[in-house]
Structure 1
Amino acid sequence: MTINIMDIVGRESYNCDLLFRIIDTKEVNGKKIAILYGEDFRLIADAPYEDLVLVNQPMQRKISQKVQLMEEQSLQLFRQDVNLLRRKQEYQVTEAYSKPSNYFQLPGKVLHIDGDPNYLKKCLTLYEKIGIPVNGVHCNEKEMPGKIGSLLDYYRPDILVITGHDAYSKALGEKNDINAYRHSKYFVQTVREARKKLPNLDQLVIFAGACQSHFESLIYAGANFASSPSRVNIHALDPVYIVAKISFTPFMERVNVWDVLRNTLTGEKGLGGIETKGVLRAGMPYHTNQSEEV
């Protein structure tokens, strides 16, 4: 059976554990190599064509259903968290319910820069479900450092997401060598450029990284949260759950790192960070015709 660009495949040597889309091909020593993007995980990989297995529609649906169940469970837990945060906020604003709850909330604004247009679309859909104001920009990982300054000036976000695809290659070096990673150095450069403009960790909250990214370098460059401490794959939607928790946490409170990670799909092996202030602000009075744009 012929395998073509944009087909959904699995890797036989990995027992087809993940779904990939073929996005390009190259030739190495006379052998045809496919460049693969993960369908649900932010991983980029190379594989010889003879290792690829074309995944039929029924199998795609079966694997996708398992991932969707994980996503739904994570979203449900996150909504429970947000509901608790809102109740706590209402209790404080109304002085233990002794005053009318005539107030409104302004969640933190997000700028989400993604190296994958399909993942960006999925993330924007989830932001909309959760109710977070967001602007999404598709940008090749290598171009992010040169574009981040103008994007920050234009969108002026409270939270910045820098993500796309990444991967560690043992053939290129040890795990502590950033040059052994596909895109980590570009993510690091982008974080540094962002911090030149907004050095305060609480003025601009940054999430950076993708599958297997060089976590330590991203944190030291100035990211509040990053992937991947254990160099594992992260789910495409994990950055959304990270920043959503921060977006809905009041700016007078600090977000416990474990509270941020526990409802993600990957957990602490794939994600980590430092203590960070929330960015939600409450105001009053609330009017029914009040614009959501402030």
Structure 2
Amino acid sequence: MSRIEITAPAGAPEVRAGDDLADVLVGLLDLERGDLVDGDVVVITSKVVSKAEGRVRPGTREDALPGETARVVARRGPTTIVRNHLGLTIAAAGIDGSNVVAGHVVLLPLDPDASARTLRARLRERTGRNVAVIVTDTAGRAWREGQTDIAIGAAGLVVAEEYAGRTDPWGNELAVTLPAVADEIAGAAELAQGKLAGRPFAVVRGRADLVLAPGVDGAGAAALVRAERADLFGYGAREAVVRALRGEPADRAPFGAPAPAEELFATIRDTLGLLASRSGRDGEELLLTVPRGLVRAVAALAFAHGWDVGPTDAPSETRLRPAP
């Protein structure tokens, strides 16, 4: 039988800059009763971490957003989705205006993985227990309504279980199965913590197999952030069209690595009715004649596929090459 237990202690005080979060949590637990044991996973909301680290600022989310934004992904009405400096794609860069003094906002921790490592080490010092730590925040999901908590920081935990190469009971080999167990634990802990109950800590018991040895902190939650060029949805639908038409080099990375020549060839043929020929070493270039009215469209399609547009010796001919 498999069993998971989640305890979210009540009575947490208001956390202020400089507070020791290990002391706060230990004050809520009965160690002699076994409220914290080796192999537990301590879950803490990022807001409490941010308050302890002095990440509260006067102003509004709109005031703070530019400084927390690496790039804008999409805008729809009052909602702005950005990729922040942690690599998280999240509404308003994770800036929060709730459960804080009026006229102030809370920014995400500068380095949530480092925050988790610090809390893990302090809990080891204070209690002697070897536990893992997850720092959580609330995020929406593409294609799904509502939000759930995810891990934005972690220490001492296997954050994802690799199943690729294993076989199921029917003998089928698994190829890309990679459960993000840190996110699963974060979401489960939020069920016990609640949003308005003032319980920023949770202790999850039953997955000691994921907890690493003392002094081994692991890759952290940063390992769950998909690389910029590997994200299939680097921009919103409208924004992708606009960025491709503008063709600014700084906007190229979210479109990913250059697509194969066959894919770009087919796209130009099917959308514009133009046929290209292959040239260059290994056929890595496309040559085509582009009517004046379609020059910008070809350039946009090439940009979106990770290719550059350049002239040839023939005035009417255009050369397409994969961008470096």
Structure 1 or 2: more helix by fraction: 1
Is the shorter-chain TM-score for this pair beyond 0.5, marking a shared fold? no
TM-score by length of 1: 0.24
